[in-house]
Amino acid sequence: MLATSVADPHTTESPPMTTHATPTPAARTSSSNPDPGGTKAAALMASKAVSASIDALVEELRRHQSALTGARPATAALQETYESWLARHAEARGKAALYPYVGSGIGNGALVELADGSVKWDMINGIGVHMFGHSDPDMVATALRAAMSDTVMEGNLQFNADSIVFAETLVAEAARGSRLRHCFVTNSGCMANESALKICLQKNHPAPRVIAFADCFMGRSTTMAQIGDSAAGRVGLPLNVLVDYMPFYDPEHGTRSIDYAVWHLRQMIARYPGQYACFVMELVQGEGGFNQAPREYFVALMEVCKEHGIAVWADEVQTFGRTESMFHFQQLDLGAYVDVATIGKMSQACAAIYSEEYNPKPGLLSGTFIGGAVELQVGARVLERMRDGGYYGPDGRNARLQEAFRARAAKLVESHPEWFTPVPHPSGLRRVNTPYFGGVGGMMRLTPFGGDKGMVTKALAAMFEEGVVAFYCGHGPFHVRFLPPVGVMEPDHFDEVFEITERAFARVAAG
């Protein structure tokens, strides 16, 4: 646990989150002299007995996880119990799980053990949540300390110092190159988006309309399901959000795509003058297919928004921490335009972050929970490690992982051109500017079998059986999506991942 999370907030010591050192879990507690004049909590956390117990638990974890060194098949003796877990899940939920996945509760970095004894490479991590993969000793040590907090959950009425540490660390990073100054911490990406939408609507009242990109995803609340561009996500829901869609950048159209988008946006604004509260943008579309756009595309649209007082809202729930800067708006140097941003997933706790100008009036944002003590303290530790761990820049860890992925993907495409058939473009054009693999940082996609939904789904099922957990993205074409644990994935881990992927694709191709 971060010493500040339970220390007396009135102490004159500077909080460790502001330093750039990355001490070991035990070192992060000053065990030498628990100040009898401080709080009992600070003394408890500084206790040698606590440090020694946590170190012993983590050591035991290391001993057990060290046996997990590569993918392996299920244990026959566990199969029946495993099937029964899946049946119980289906019964409780009223619906079978998408993947036959039940974790055993231990892993080793990018490797995870399932309850059937199999070990798999986890290339999706709860859809991009576990930055340090499974059973990371430092995350576990942080969680163990957090579990000693007085309550499981912290709320907006009563909170401990750890929620403040999380928020201020996040804001300090968001403020680099932007006007973002404050944040509201909450417990899902969807709630962060709900909060951001309210902020934009309140500030720009009475403008009721929202602009979003085609193929965007925003979460599953009734409002976010309406803005998110997926017909299946809103079946049976009454439609009461006024949302208009913009085409996303299309590399096949190049700069014409930019002119076309600006023209489209101006048309919408002329149609509904003064009625748009915000334009929500995923700067790399996640669920939509890892679609990217050059800076000029966003600048052109953001300039129009600024002209018309429309809030620019960057939904970074999926991109946060994963690209070549902590916020993707920083990689694209778009911070000056951003009024509101939302984050989640790898940060564990989620947040809406906003400029002074967009700071909402009291009463707009609250809720019983901010989050659990474990999620807030592990989240703060993740932010600290993201900030100090060499992840960013063109030569950072995330960029190097992307490079390693692309090298293996290129080899696979070259060795098996028969699996990488042309991907149709909706216009009927032949795609020339869209390679069979791509992405940015820790967002990676591979597009076999013409991006056909049925074939990609079969490929994912075969990969799962062979020992790689991945997922799809896109709405047509469909892609194999990797969100690897960037904190623990090493470039050469992709060797085994691609060997397995190749075996799986071969099975699918053979029918």
Ligand X SMILES: Cc1ncc(COP(=O)(O)O)c(C=O)c1O
Q: Is 344 in the site for ligand X (CB under 6 A)?
A: yes
Between 2 and 41, how does the x/- string for binding to ligand X read (CB under 6 A)? ----------------------------------------
Q: Could you tell me how many residues of this chain bind ligand X (CB under 6 A)?
A: 15
Interacting residue with ligand X among 6, 50, 140, 218 (CB under 6 A): 218
Toward ligand X, which CB reaches closer, 190 or 378?
190
Q: What residue number has its CB nearest to ligand X?
A: 189
Interacting residue with ligand X among 190, 349, 370, 409 (CB under 6 A): 190
**Is residue 257 classed as helix, strand or coil in its secondary structure?**
helix
Q: Is 321 in the site for ligand X (CB under 6 A)?
A: no
Interacting residue with ligand X among 65, 318, 331, 501 (CB under 6 A): 318
- Which residue in 364, 349, 354 sits closest to 154, CA to CA? 349
Interacting residue with ligand X among 15, 133, 189, 451 (CB under 6 A): 189
Toward ligand X, which CB reaches closer, 279 or 505?
279
Residue 493 identity: H
Written as one string, the DSSP assignment of 190-245 is HHHHHHHHHHHHHHTTT--EEEEETT----SSHHHHHHSS-GGGGTT------EEE
On the CB side of 341, how many CA atoms lie within 13 Å of its CA?
30
Sheet holding 479-482, edge to edge: 437-440, 443-446, 479-482, 471-473
Interacting residues with ligand X between 428 and 447 (CB under 6 A): none
Question: Does residue 76 contact residue 85 with C-beta atoms inside 8 Å?
Answer: no
Which region among 212-220, 296-304, 369-377, 436-444 touches ligand X (by CB under 6 A)? Answer: 212-220
Q: Residue 228 Cβ, how far from ligand X at the closest point, in Å? A: 8
Interacting residue with ligand X among 188, 226, 323, 325 (CB under 6 A): 188
Please report where in the chains the tokens 């079998």 appear, as a residue: 449
Which region among 24-32, 187-195, 263-271, 451-459 touches ligand X (by CB under 6 A)? Answer: 187-195
Distance of CA 198 to the CA centre of its chain: 22
Toward ligand X, which CB reaches closer, 319 or 447?
319
Which region among 139-147, 173-181, 217-225, 394-402 touches ligand X (by CB under 6 A)? Answer: 217-225
**Is residue 143 classed as helix, strand or coil in its secondary structure?**
helix
Residue 263 identity: W
Distance of CA 42 to the CA centre of its chain: 32
Q: Is 315 in the site for ligand X (CB under 6 A)?
A: yes
Q: Residue 193 Cβ, how far from ligand X at the closest point, in Å? A: 5
Toward ligand X, which CB reaches closer, 189 or 487?
189
284 DSSP β-pair partners: 292
Toward ligand X, which CB reaches closer, 46 or 483?
483
Interacting residues with ligand X between 52 and 91 (CB under 6 A): none
Peptide bond into 137 cis (omega under 30): no
Distance of alpha carbon 414 from alpha carbon 368, whole angstroms: 54
Between 107 and 136, how does the x/- string for binding to ligand X read (CB under 6 A)? --------------------x---------
Toward ligand X, which CB reaches closer, 173 or 315?
315
Q: Which of 307-339 are b and which e, b meaning 16 or more Cβ less than 10 Å from the residue's Cβ?
A: ebebbbbbbbbbbbbbbbbbbbbbbbebbebbb
Toward ligand X, which CB reaches closer, 317 or 463?
317
Which region among 118-126, 159-167, 185-193, 503-511 touches ligand X (by CB under 6 A)? Answer: 185-193
Q: Residue 319 Cβ, how far from ligand X at the closest point, in Å? A: 7
Three-state secondary structure of 352-390: EEEECCCCCCCCCCCCCEEEEHHHHHHHHHHHHHHHHCC
Which region among 26-34, 37-45, 182-190, 305-313 touches ligand X (by CB under 6 A)? Answer: 182-190
Which region among 245-253, 310-318, 375-383, 404-412 touches ligand X (by CB under 6 A)? Answer: 310-318
Interacting residues with ligand X between 258 and 297 (CB under 6 A): 282, 286-287
Interacting residue with ligand X among 184, 217, 313, 437 (CB under 6 A): 217
Q: Residue 132 Cβ, how far from ligand X at the closest point, in Å? A: 18
Residues in the chain: 511
Question: Does residue 385 contact residue 487 with C-beta atoms inside 8 Å?
Answer: yes
Q: Is 210 in the site for ligand X (CB under 6 A)?
A: no
- Which residue in 5, 3, 42, 52 sits closest to 23, CA to CA? 3
Peptide bond into 477 cis (omega under 30): yes
What residues make contact with ligand X under the rule CB under 6 A?
Answer: 127, 188-190, 193, 217-219, 282, 286-287, 315, 317-318, 344
